[in-house]
Amino acid sequence: MKELLKKYRRDLHKIPELGFEEYKTKAYILNILKEYNCEIINPYGTAVCAYFKCKNKNNETIAFRGDMDALPITESTGLDFSSSHSGLMHACGHDGHIAMILGLAYEIEKNLNKLPCNVLLIFQPAEEGGGGAQKLCDTGILSKYNVSKIYGYHLWPGVEKYAIASRPHALMAKTTEMDIIIKGKSAHCANADKGIDSLYIGCQFLCDIYKMVETEVPKDEFKLLKFGKAESGTIRNIISAYTHFYGTMRCFNMDIFDFMLKRIKETAKNYEEKYKCNIIVEYNEGYPPVINDPEVFKDAENKLSKEFIFKNIEIPYMQAEDFSFYLQEIPGMFMFLGIGDTYPLHSDKFNFDEDVLELGVKAYKKLLGI
């Protein structure tokens, strides 16, 4: 199994593709699945699912998901199986995720007579910002195949190598990209009273909404509002008529998210009245929070903790994941598979010890009961 998983991962690492464009990846997966006793499903585009039916007439189905897409990053690992697609790289471990699902398919095929329930393996496009999980949920495939729960991994730097880490309830954040645009009026600094200083207004505005998050949101709520990029002005001695802040807002409670958004809009309106400017608050819906089902978590902890290093994470992560869309439909659990001290995700040097993939498949088998 170890060598097979290594082959899968390296083959896939050579052919990274962006979200919804995973054509070679899909072909690679289909070429393997066609040899197995499963129903191959094409829910949409490059998405692939494999349905294995158990022999004991159990109608329950358990799903396992691997994401397929890569990133627009030029690889600099120096590996002999580096990306063959210029400017693209599997820098987030999705090649490993797919390899583990293909490895699980191999194990299911060998144990068809022992399957306690039906299994749906999901090879999902476009996790990196494309929301491929939502599109797959929208096809109705989870209800069509009577999926009762779902599992998924993310290879995770910083978590002990060979450890499986997760937590009940909130694991990863609801996230949205947010833009704040302030439109003022240009004037020479010598005649500043004739202008409306969008840069000054913007700095005050950011201070106020940062303070709002600190003082008005309960301290025990995990939340984040930060702006990492700003554009303003044309020249040093001209009052800026236009300021644009680029940021992100994240939390785990949708009521808190709605409250922060409402207060940002209220603050913008107050500033417009006070400074006679125009403030535009733009944001996208992003991904919902990843909320693990506590009963599924407890069952998984009982099954895995005796045989594997199983860690219960104390504080949820502020990163986002579109696995959250599945968890809005059915109970399930998302987990981090520790790869130890490596380059961070999305680094052009990201790599990991492929031996962890075998452990990932063994844990999947334990959860499935084969």
d(CA 27, CA 46): 9
Question: Residue 145: which of 56, 40, 35 has the closest Cα?
Answer: 40
Whole-angstrom Cα distance, residue 33 to residue 307?
29
Query: For residue 158, is it left (φ>0), alpha (ψ between -120 and 50) or beta?
Result: left
Considering only CA atoms, which of 113, 137, 160 is closest in space to residue 44?
137
What is the CB-side half-sphere exposure of residue 67 using CA atoms within 13 A? 30
Q: Are 116 and 56 in contact (CB under 8 A)?
A: yes
Q: Which residue of the set 11, 21, 22, 67 is catalytic?
A: 67
CA distances to 16, 74, 97, 102, 357 from 82, rounded to whole Å, are 10, 10, 17, 21, 18
Cβ-based neighbour number of residue 280 at 10 Å: 11
Q: Catalytic residue among 17, 127, 128, 354, which?
A: 128
Q: How far is CA 273 from CA 197, 239, 259, 266, 306, in A?
A: 14, 19, 21, 11, 62
- Asked if 25 and 85 count as a contact pair (C-beta separation under 8 A), the reply is no
Residues composing the chain:
370
Phi, psi of 143, deg, nearest 5: -75, -35
Is the Cβ–Cβ distance between 126 and 287 less than 8 Å? Answer: no
Q: Is 67 a catalytic site residue?
A: yes
**DSSP states of 262-292:** HHHHHHHHHHHHHH--EEEEEE---B--EEE
Distance CA 276, CA 42 (A): 54
Residues labelled as active-site residues? 67, 128
